[in-house]
Amino acid sequence: LFDGLTEQPSDTLLGLISAFRSDPRPGKIDLGVGVYRDNEGRTPVLRAVKESERRLVEGQLTKAYLGAEGDVGFVEALMPVIFGLQPYGARLCGLQTPGGTGALRLAAELIARARPGARVWLGTPTWPNHSQIMASAHLAIEEYPHFDVTTQRLRFDRVMAAIEAANAGDVLLLHGCCHNPTGADFDDSQWIAIARAMASRGVLPLIDLAYQGLGRGLEEDVAGVRATLDIVGEGFIAYSCDKNFGLYRERVGALYALSRSTGQAGIVQSNLLALARANWSMPPDHGAAIVRIILEDATLAADWRTELSDMACRMREIRTLLAQAKANLAPIAHQQGMFSTLPLTPMMVARLRDEQRVYLPSSGRINIAGLTRDTVPAFVRALLWLA
Kindly state whether residue 240 participates in binding ligand PLP, applying the rule CB under 6 A: yes
Size of the site for ligand PLP (CB under 6 A): 12
- Characterize 1-13 residue by residue with b for buried, 16 or more Cβ atoms within 10 angstroms of its Cβ, and e for exposed: eeeeeeeeeeeeb
- Considering beta carbons, is residue 268 or 366 the nearer one to ligand TYF? 366
DSSP codes joined into one string, 259-291: -SSHHHHHHHHHHHHHHHHHHTSS--SHHHHHH
Q: Could you tell which of ligand PLP, ligand TYF, none binds residue 166, using a CB distance below 5 to 8 A set by kind?
A: none
Tell me how far apart the alpha carbons of residues 142 and 150 are, in angstroms, rounded to a whole number.
22
CB 183 within 8 A of CB 337: yes
CB 375 within 8 A of CB 28: no
Q: How far is the CB of 238 from ligand PLP (least distance, A)?
A: 7
Pick from 99, 287, 331, 337: which binds ligand PLP (CB under 6 A)?
A: 99
Q: For residue 186, give every residue at least 6 positions away whose Cβ sits within 8 Å of its Cβ, in sequence order, or none.
A: 154, 156, 159, 194, 224
Size of the site for ligand TYF (CB under 6 A): 8
Q: Which of residues 173-202 bind ligand PLP (CB under 6 A)?
A: 175, 180
Amino acid identity for residue 386 in this structure: L
Pick from 122, 210, 231, 254: which binds ligand PLP (CB under 6 A)?
A: 210
Tell me how far apart the alpha carbons of residues 348 and 356 are, in angstroms, rounded to a whole number.
11
Q: How far is the CB of 208 from ligand PLP (least distance, A)?
A: 5
Pick from 20, 127, 144, 186: which binds ligand PLP (CB under 6 A)?
A: 127
Helix crossing, 129-136 with 99-114: angle to 10°?
A: 40
Pick from 71, 242, 285, 307: which binds ligand PLP (CB under 6 A)?
A: 242
Active site residues: 127, 208, 210, 243
DSSP codes joined into one string, 238-249: EEE-TTTTS-GG
Q: Which of residues 86-145 bind ligand TYF (CB under 6 A)?
A: 127, 129
Q: How far is the CB of 73 from ligand TYF (least distance, A)?
A: 26
> By CB under 6 A, which span of 82-90, 96-104, 282-290, 347-355 interacts with ligand PLP?
96-104
Residue least distant from ligand PLP (Cβ): 99
Q: How far is the CB of 237 from ligand PLP (least distance, A)?
A: 12
How crowded is the C-beta side of 261, counted as CA atoms within 13 Å? 3
Backbone angles phi, psi at 135, to 5 degrees: -65, -40
The kind and range of the H/E element at 56 are helix 47-59
- Considering beta carbons, is residue 17 or 72 the nearer one to ligand TYF? 17
CB 97 within 8 A of CB 110: no
Kindly state whether residue 66 participates in binding ligand TYF, applying the rule CB under 6 A: no
Q: Could you tell which of ligand TYF, ligand PLP, none binds residue 13, using a CB distance below 5 to 8 A set by kind?
A: ligand TYF
Rg (C-alpha) for the chain, rounded Å, is 21
Q: Residue count of the chain, please give it.
A: 387
- Considering beta carbons, is residue 11 or 157 the nearer one to ligand TYF? 11
Nearest one of 81, 34, 20, 32 to 291, comparing CA atoms: 81
Task: Provide the Cα torsion 297, 299, 305, 309; round to 10°.
Answer: -170
CA–CA–CA angle 78, 203, 125 (5° rounding): 75
Pick from 15, 17, 28, 33: which binds ligand TYF (CB under 6 A)?
A: 33
Pick from 126, 180, 335, 375: which binds ligand TYF (CB under 6 A)?
A: 180
The sign one gets for the Cα dihedral 89, 90, 96, 101 is negative
Kindly state whether residue 34 participates in binding ligand TYF, applying the rule CB under 6 A: yes
Q: How far is the CB of 387 from ligand TYF (least distance, A)?
A: 26
Q: Could you tell which of ligand PLP, ligand TYF, none binds residue 14, using a CB distance below 5 to 8 A set by kind?
A: ligand TYF
Kindly state whether residue 14 participates in binding ligand TYF, applying the rule CB under 6 A: yes
- Considering beta carbons, is residue 147 or 383 the nearer one to ligand PLP? 147
Largest Cα–Cα distance of the chain, in whole Å?
Answer: 62
Kindly state whether residue 239 participates in binding ligand TYF, applying the rule CB under 6 A: no
Query: Which residues sit at the interface with ligand PLP, rule CB under 6 A?
Result: 34, 99-101, 127, 175, 180, 208, 210, 240, 242, 253
Query: Which residues sit at the interface with ligand TYF, rule CB under 6 A?
Result: 11, 13-14, 33-34, 127, 129, 180
